[in-house]
Each structure stands twice: as C-alpha cells, then as structure tokens.
Amino acid sequence: MKRKSYQTVKLLTVLALLFGSTLSFSQKKQEQKTRVIITSDGEIDDECSLVRFLLYGNEWDIEGIVTSSSQYHWHGHKWAGDDWIDPSLEAYAAVYPNLMKHDSNYPSPQYLADHTFLGNVETEGEMELITDGSQHIVKVLLDESDNRPIWLQAWGGTNTIARALKTIEEEHPEKMQYVANKMRFFFIWEQDKTYQEYIRPHWGKYNIMTIISDQFEAIAYRWKIAQPEKMHQYYDGTWMKENILNNHGPLTASYKSHTGDKEGFVDGDFRSEGDSPAFMHTILTGLGNLDNPDWGGWGGRYVKVRENTWLDPVPDKSYEYPKGRWYGSNGWGRSSLREGSNATAEQRSEYFKPIWRWSDAFQNDFAARADWCVKPFAEANHPPVVKLKSANYLKAKAGAKIKLSAKGTSDPDGDVLSYTWWQYKEADSYEGEVEILNNAKQVAFVSVPSDVKRGQTIHLVCEVKDNGMPQLTRYQRIVIEVE
C-alpha cells in the first residue's frame, strides 16, 4: 500500500472537483506513483544502489535507467561496461515472480529492459553527442499525455540530463517551461561541470527544485566514520549475510559487499551505496518530505541555499556555501571526514544524522524486501500503514492543546503495532521543545507552548513499528503552524 504525497492529495482533490466524480482505483494508483529516471555511472556502489533500487521498483513509475559518465568513470576509464546493468536485470527477472506475491506493482523485467539505455559516456562531462539515453529522456519530458512530476536523478555526472535538456532547448524552445514544470532534480554531488555550465545558466530561470546531496556519504564508503557505532550493527558482515546476501535469491546475492580484502572491513560488511539517497528521498514513507526537502526523510534533509536549490545543512553557522559546484573537495562532509579536518566529531555526526537517524528503519526495510524475493506473503513482513485522524498540516494558537490520533492505522500482516510521537526538532522552526502526553500511545496530546512566535512551525512525527521480522517502520507527520 502506498500513501499519497501531499501534492497528490491536492491534485486528486482538484481533479475530483473538475470532473465531479471519483477516479477509478487504477487511475488513483497511477496518480500516486512518483516517476523517476536514474542516470548512473556504474561504479561498484552504483551496483549496490541498483539492487536496492530494484527492490523498490513497485514504489515508482520507472521511466528510465540510463548509463552516464562522471568525473570518475567514462568509456575506457574505470568503466564497468556499457551493459553493466544487465546482470542485475537478469537477477531481478529471476526473483520478479516472487516479488509480485508481495506487490503486483513491480515492473516486469521486459519493461525494465525496454527502459534501459546508454547515455552520454564518452568522457567526463561529454554532452555533445545525441545518445539513446538522452533521446529517451527528451521523449519522456516532452510527452504531454502524462504531466506528473519526474524526479531526474544523477548518480554520476549530470551530462546525459544536460544533453537531453539541450536538445529540448534547440528543437523545442517553446516547450522549455512545460518541461521545467515537470522536472525535479536530485544529484549526488555534481560529478561533472554540466550542471554549472549548461543546466544552471539555461534552465535556472525556471526555478526547478534541485537537491544536491553531500550527506550521502553517510551510506557511502566511509559509513563507519560517518555513522555512530550504535548503527554499525545494521551494516556489518553478520547482519548483511543473514539479512541480505545469503538465502535471499540471486538479486541480493549479486550485491557487492566487502569481501574481507580491505583493511577495516570484514567479509560481508556493507561497502557503499552513495547513490541510494537519490531514490530513498522518493520512497513515500509518510514523512511528507518529497516536495519538502527541508522536512527530512530517508534520503536526508536539505536547506534552501539559493532559489529552489537545496544543499546539506552544515552544522557551523559561520559556514558559507560555495557559489558554484557542490561536490567532492568542497562538499562540507567530504572535508570533515578527512584527517586533520577542523570539524568536531559532534559536528560531523550531526551533518550525517539526517540520513543515519533512519538507518535501523531503512536497513530493516531492505531486509524485508530481500525476504520478498524468496518468501510467500504470509512468511514475510510488510510495513504498517499509518493513518491520522487529523490533517497533516494544522494551524493553532500558542497555548492550544491538540489531540493527536493515529486511529485507523493498520498492518497488512495483522502485527501488533507500537507508537512513538516525537518532535522533529531539526525540521521545525520553533527552537524549544514541546511536551507530548501519552507519546507512546495511539492517541497523544500536545500543548503548543506559550513562547512560540507567529508563523513558527512544530513538526511532530508519528512513528509506527510493527512486531514482525524484521521490524518495519512507517510514519505520518503533523506540522503545526502557529497563528
């Protein structure tokens, strides 16, 4: 079961008003699905990210999987091969029938094969050639029969996306506004110059939502430094072998964990999924972060640095963001992980916390998906469906007492559910703490403090865990705006 994004709820309401009727179930399903296109440079950690991505293939309409170059990888330079994706797609085909027992929304192996393309790969930042990958992106963006937003993810360079946009600018300048309205960007660093040199100057005027992540390092190669020790148990070899690598079919068996030949890591240890935050942001967990990057979700939390561009919150008030690229050496996290950095251990931990805070939840979720590859529905776990009695966005006055109810929450397996209501302090603009009465019950109460100022927000998360194996977590968020 998927929850509607806040924007979708609005859209459905508008459509219902326009047409005066309710949409059919299948139409609703389509409206709820987020559309994604990934462009990847095929690094070993992209391969790991791809396995997790395919396990969540039921969550989105996957409009394209495109191989692209980056500053690290291109044709003939540390290149995984044009067809590096094929073994993963074959392994997916083998587990697909079993995945379908858990959700009939998984895309067929043939569909995925038909939507996999080679993009711009000749050199770093190459965007001269018109490629199958760039042309596919052009086609999807220009298709006016489907106006839903599309999240374009760069797991490597932005060059193939840039090439596609240049084609649109050259051949259909009158469609640029239309295309811009549909696009959302999520970049894992800027792994070539094409965002700064082409996309920003030519498309910046359209104010496209653009998230550029550096905090992805929380689950990249240096996860052991970026994450606190209490979370390592969800990434170590013992956990990975039991939950992911062994006895879960060919897809997760192909996952490239450490093999024990690297100092500091044992056989089976999590290696890196630096690109996963790009799609983890688009998994609808109930946190409502999809169109609100500063709200925080499994893919991290971001702050608006300029126009509609969102970078990582740096825990140093004197820090000035670069005016240009946000990547490698000038991404704050990269430098803070370096030996001899001035960043304190606390700052470093805080910087990566927007992702690692959910490690137990998203790793257990990954483990459940691995089970879906081999187990029948009744023997695997599925996440709870959290429902609120109230709206997600409320207005209240200082001093007001508000009832928080998650009555109606359910679990597809009939599991016993436990509730935790907590204040997401990093995401809200109120600087103090609120007290939540009965914070471990289905119905809780919160008093809006007397010292809140008009316009400030308080973010409360209703976190629901089931008692299945592995234990799964979903959420709803209530934002209280003080009036």
Binding site for Ca ion (CB under 5 A): 41, 43, 46, 155-156, 275, 381-382, 411, 413, 415, 425, 428, 466, 468
How far apart are CB 172 and Ca ion at their closest, in Å? 30
**Scanning the structure block, which residue is given the tokens 């291109």?**
74
Q: Please count the other Cβ atoms lying within 10 Å of the Cβ belonging to residue 426.
A: 16
Q: Which is nearer to Ca ion, 371 or 411 (CB)?
A: 411
Least distance in Å: CB of 368 to Ca ion? 8
Q: Which is nearer to Ca ion, 157 or 237 (CB)?
A: 157
Whole-number Å distance between alpha carbons of 46 and 26:
32
Q: Nearest distance from residue 275's CB to Ca ion, in Å?
A: 5
Neighbour count for residue 296 (Cβ, 10 Å): 26
Specify the residue, 192 or 428, whose C-beta has the smaller distance to Ca ion. Answer: 428
Cβ proximity to Ca ion: between 167 and 185 the closer is 185
Least distance in angstroms from the C-beta of 308 to Ca ion: 22
Residues 6 or more apart whose CB falls under 8 angstroms from that of 83 comprise none
The one-letter amino acid code at 148 reads R
Smaller CB separation from Ca ion, 182 or 353: 353
* Nearest residue to 191 (alpha-carbon basis) of 288, 345, 306, 74: 74
214 with 332: CB under 8 angstroms?
A: yes
**Contacts of 469 by beta carbon, 8 Å cutoff, 6+ apart:** 381
Q: How far is the CB of 62 from Ca ion (least distance, A)?
A: 17
Closest contact distance (angstroms) between CB of 145 and Ca ion is 32
Omega before residue 109 within 30° of 0, cis: no
Q: Which is nearer to Ca ion, 101 or 172 (CB)?
A: 101
Work out how close the CB of 189 gets to Ca ion at its nearest, in angstroms, rounded to a whole number. Answer: 9
Phi, psi of 242 (to 5 degrees): -70, -40
Least Å distance, CB 156 to Ca ion, is 4
Q: Closer to Ca ion by CB, 42 or 237: give it.
A: 42
- The least CB distance from residue 141 to Ca ion, in Å, is 22
Nearer to Ca ion, 46 or 168 (CB): 46
Nearer to Ca ion, 41 or 269 (CB): 41
- Choose between 44 and 266: whose C-beta lies nearer to Ca ion: 44
Backbone φ, ψ for residue 444 (5° rounding): -130, 175
- Least Å from the CB of residue 22 to Ca ion: 29
C-alpha 30/C-alpha 25 separation (Å) is 9
Q: Give the shortest CB-402-to-Ca ion separation in angstroms.
A: 17
Shortest gap between Cβ of 447 and Ca ion (angstroms)?
16
Instruction: Compare residues 63 and 415 and give the one whose CB is closer to Ca ion.
Output: 415
| Smaller CB separation from Ca ion, 69 or 167 | 69
Q: Could you tell me whether strands 60-67 and 34-40 are parallel, antiparallel, or unpaired per DSSP bridges?
A: parallel
